[in-house]
Structure 1
């Protein structure tokens, strides 16, 4: 009889996610905590659990960037065919805020003034009888109105970066409801 190594991987991933979450929680005061469940195939479960085991996060870190009080930056992700917040994977030895800044520069060609954590999304990952979870940190930032956007994504996943008025965020935006919920909490800050 062979032991299913996914159980061990899921357990190690869960431990790393808890560590990452507690670091985020102790370093930031106010943020929202959405929860999403992803039911995935066995190979995808292995991929995501391996990422979580390495970094605590299945989908990397992201940034919600505001310009003025009423515009949010989104990028078009070719792989998921949706508008998303700029962000991505965490490199070895990289801290979450560093990864967020690097990804923002790659995917939109800008820098921004970071103000802390906007969201710590819990992503529950399930496959057959296996489950684990990871955290997806989403930082908040602001930038000037005159910055020019340019995409230089080394992974060729992002094809466009664009500002959207908060009332006109497209329906095909990943986690749109979370974004609008967050904006409702911070409008005018």
Structure 2
């Protein structure tokens, strides 16, 4: 008996969904930074990410680049990856990426921000063996006025701290992307 591997079909569905979401995002927003990442992952991780992309168009949900007029960026400590990251996560069913980014910011950092549009659109390419697919990672631009102190209240327990940074710590995930955005948008 031959086993049929459905990863090719899943990857094709994911590609189609990613293309739809990419066009919807880029058509709705102007003046944002585009980046590209490529990751080789295990077979089980590929399946998980391809399923997310097929459902949402995005492997990691939506995130916010939150800044103060002084140029400081808000980062949250993600215990699961042991790094500073931008706040964000997966959308709930029927929730837009922007609304998911806003909700995640409130949960993970407890701050209110004014959203200015799309800061960055990252194309995330995922590979495993002979399979590949891609999805988008939208990062929305959000501005906080004043000296608001972040207070994480993450229901998932993954985010344990939040703080403002003038200089990004070395252990910041996607540090180069954030530095590139700062140069693109703030300077």
Indicate the TM-score class for this superposition, using the shorter chain for normalisation. Answer: over 0.9
Give the match for residue 125 of structure 1: 126
Contact map agreement 2:109 2:151 (CA 8 A) in 1: yes
What's the TM-score, normalizing by structure 1? 0.96
Contact map agreement 1:17 1:57 (CA 8 A) in 2: yes
Contact map agreement 2:41 2:126 (CA 8 A) in 1: yes
**Per-residue deviation at 1:149?**
1.1
Give the match for residue 14 of structure 1: 15
CA RMSD of aligned residues (A): 0.9
Contact map agreement 2:62 2:139 (CA 8 A) in 1: yes
Give the match for residue 101 of structure 2: 100
**Per-residue deviation at 1:70?**
1.6
Contact map agreement 1:108 1:151 (CA 8 A) in 2: yes
The separation in 1 between residues aligned to 2:7 and 2:155, in whole angstroms, is 31
The separation in 2 between residues aligned to 1:70 and 1:98, in whole angstroms, is 24
Q: Secondary structure of the residue that 2:172 maps to in structure 1?
A: coil
The separation in 1 between residues aligned to 2:29 and 2:130, in whole angstroms, is 34
The separation in 1 between residues aligned to 2:170 and 2:30, in whole angstroms, is 30
Mapping of 1:60-139 within 5 angstroms? Answer: 60-139=61-140
Give the match for residue 185 of structure 1: 184
What's the TM-score, normalizing by structure 2? 0.97
Give the match for residue 169 of structure 1: 168
Contact map agreement 2:64 2:140 (CA 8 A) in 1: yes
Contact map agreement 1:69 1:187 (CA 8 A) in 2: no
Give 5+ residue unaligned stretches, structure 2: none
Contact map agreement 1:83 1:174 (CA 8 A) in 2: yes
Q: Secondary structure of the residue that 2:22 maps to in structure 1?
A: helix
Structure 1 runs (4+) greater than 3 angstroms displaced: none
